[in-house]
Chain A
Amino acid sequence: MDHITAPRPRVALFVTCLVDFHRPSVGFAAIKLLEAAGCDVEVPRAQTCCGQPAYNSGDRATAAAMARGLLEAFGGYDYVVVPSGSCAGMIREHMPHLFDDDPNTKARAEALASRTYELVSFLTDVRGQIAVQAAYVGTAVYHDSCAGLRELGIKTQPRDLLASVAGLKMVEMKEPEMCCGFGGTFCVKYPDISVRMVSDKTADIVASGADILLAGDMGCLLNMAGRLSREGSAIKVRHVAEILAGMAGATPAIGEPTP
């Protein structure tokens, strides 16, 4: 990427509701990574949530109303970047279909979908980034979140960038693509099943020998961190952006006590 002649794209950050509420550090890590990748980053004020809680509960009308809000908030940018495969997948793969009977809005939704990317894959696939300037001493294992993996094809991108983090050793789980059992409202609608699924997941994480677990979606991270914590595990849990941005020192890991 020729940073001298190429114009800096205007990128809108879609913070996502879980990052906003739970882990703002991920949003700031995303801004840092995007600026380092030569983007002008803005954070539209009118954003809230991608609408998945309504969409996946069968409430299409509310999902469509939320989607209209997103169309307003994110119009006019070169790209919309999201530190979540699940929310990016919602915009890219699902949102346009909410307007199948409304061609004008559908066209706008499709335009937004085509400009929307998950953070890490945006850095590699759109900005052509192959390495980051960051260091973290530890052994990390990466969990492939379902929506990122199967809707957006995110598999090698985070691993490629993590390979460039100084001091970081990467290991793999036996079943890195196995769902962690979060599933949005599933985790509270069917808690027994969800907890068994995440327990199978944490067993796989522990067996990998890693001392830090990374993923690109806060939902999965909170679920896995919550279970690891309940099991008394010392494995740290962080969003992949925190490590790539070299910001792990700024905040305790997810669920870790404040020093």
Chain B
Amino acid sequence: MLATSPAFKENAAHALADPSLQKALHRTRPQNPAKRAAAVAALPEFEQLRDIGRDIKNHTLANLDFYLETWETNVLKSGGHVHWASTADDARTAVLEICRKAGARTVTKGKSMISEELAINDHLEKHGIEPIETDLGEYILQIRKEPPSHIIGPAFHLNREDWEESFRKVHTHLPADRVFAERKDIMTEARELLRSKFLAADVGITGANFLIAETGSSVIVTNEGNGDLTQTLPRVHIVLASIEKVVPTLEDATSLLRLLARSATGQDFSVYTTFSTGGRRAGDLDGPEEYHVVVVDNGRSAMVGTEFQDMLRCIRCAACMNHCPVYQTVGGHAYGWVYPGPMGSVLTPSLIGVDKAGHLPNASTFCGKCESVCPVKIPLPKMMRHWREREFERHLSPQSVRTNLSLWAFVAQRPALYRLATRIGAKALSLLGRGRGRLASVPFAGGWTGGRDLPVPEGETFFARYARLERSKRS
């Protein structure tokens, strides 16, 4: 997927001026945090579970090679196939190869963010294979040729009228005067159309929420059941998973599942949680004949052992973006690549380079809400700050910022000079204010005064007044 992250500012300006997007954001903004809060309140051990989740992931990451090898051994034992992909290119090639061997003409897909990262759909289309998104949100985005704006609610940026419009435009074989009275009508139409696609598909591609080392299983959670139809009906099932999805045991996976749905949607559990272990065995009533897992690195192993390793704990629940005031103001597309919000602001620079994604870790107020709701306690603000440090070291931060900062640092490290500079500055601003209390514009402060007045300082600094009072006490 082509990154527009370097144009974050322009993207954000566009988003702020888009009434339809703002309407959608204002609709979802209060809902998701409220649902999570209710689910968390109903589970007394939730805080303890967060520690457990963090520890499971930390332990796995500390022994990642061991658990990936154990997992591979067990996949092979259960008759499955494992394809290791260092790069996005390797992964695309592996997927295409499997599809070609299967003689695939159409491929159904469950929702998978890694497939967005790999731009699998474009690759398959280019080679004459039709991918069909079966998650309702992904389905409409495929129709509209838009990327997801959210990692669990890919079409959160759309309103109902957008859905209706797109469905009417594309589903032209249906009566033009049909009525969409409620959300259910949209769902029913999509469901009926997708049914034949599920049955016709030669290959089904899903993501994985977890890979389980001790059994060689992959796990997906969905609320629509589309993932199950995608992975059981076609002859071949391909799982796309990144390396950090592995966990040691079934027990570990269930601990994390208890955190996942509550953090994501406020459900105790997702509607469908499906474990796949190999393909169809003799005597099985259903299931694919072939079970393949394409395991993708694409930059992740380079994060291991660095200050960004903790990011690999992420279980993709989206709580951070659901609670992020910046995400809730500009939406997901502004971030310009696959992963938006706080988790994206840490992960994207790791995967596409901080030179391209430098805005993302800067576009945060460090309010800390994301970290406070993260089910595996990822210190997101801290890691965004680490990215700012890398930028600063590599001289990627704007020269104006660096100049102002070094001037300020020079003065602030010399208290006597600092006293003088602040005394003059405070006095000058207060004179400029002439008793009005605020300034509507100040030279070189357009960033502040574009949408805010600048309250005028009292005039005499604290230290000047304090010194004056001390002197008068003594005399």
Name A residues whose Cβ lies closer than 8 Å to a Cβ of B: 15, 17, 19-25, 27-28, 43, 45-49, 51, 53-60, 62, 65-66, 69, 146-147, 150-151, 177-179, 181-200, 222-223, 225-227, 229-230, 237, 251-252, 254-258
Contacts and interface: CB of A to CB of B under 8 A. Distances in A.
Contact of B447 (A28, A181, A191, A254): A191
Contacts of B440: 230
Interface string B303-345: 0000000000000000000000110011000000000000000
A254 B455 contact: yes
A142 to B, nearest CB: 17
A58 B452 contact: no
Contacts of B413: 48, 65-66, 69
B409 A197 contact: no
B466 A27 contact: yes
A258 B412 CA distance: 30
B368 A151 contact: yes
Contacts of B454: 222, 226
B405 interface: yes
A25 B458 contact: yes
Interface stretch (B9-17, B46-54, B199-207): B9-17
B451 A62 contact: no
29 contacts: A20-B463, A21-B425, A21-B461, A22-B455, A24-B461, A25-B458, A45-B463, A56-B385, A57-B392, A57-B401, A58-B385, A58-B388, A59-B389, A62-B406, A66-B412, A146-B365, A147-B368, A179-B325, A181-B325, A186-B366, A187-B447, A189-B363, A191-B450, A191-B451, A194-B365, A222-B454, A226-B453, A229-B455, A230-B440
B453 A230 contact: yes
A146 B325 CA distance: 12
B365 A47 contact: no
Nearest to B470: A43
B448 A179 contact: no
B59 to A, nearest CB: 23
B290 interface: no
Contacts of B456: 255
Given A150-B367, A254-B455, A15 B435 contact: no
B437 A22 contact: no
Nearest to B401: A57
B457 A195 contact: no
Given A179-B325, A190-B363, 18 more contacts: A22-B458, A43-B463, A55-B385, A57-B405, A58-B388, A60-B389, A66-B413, A150-B371, A151-B368, A181-B325, A181-B365, A183-B367, A184-B365, A186-B365, A193-B330, A225-B438, A226-B453, A226-B454
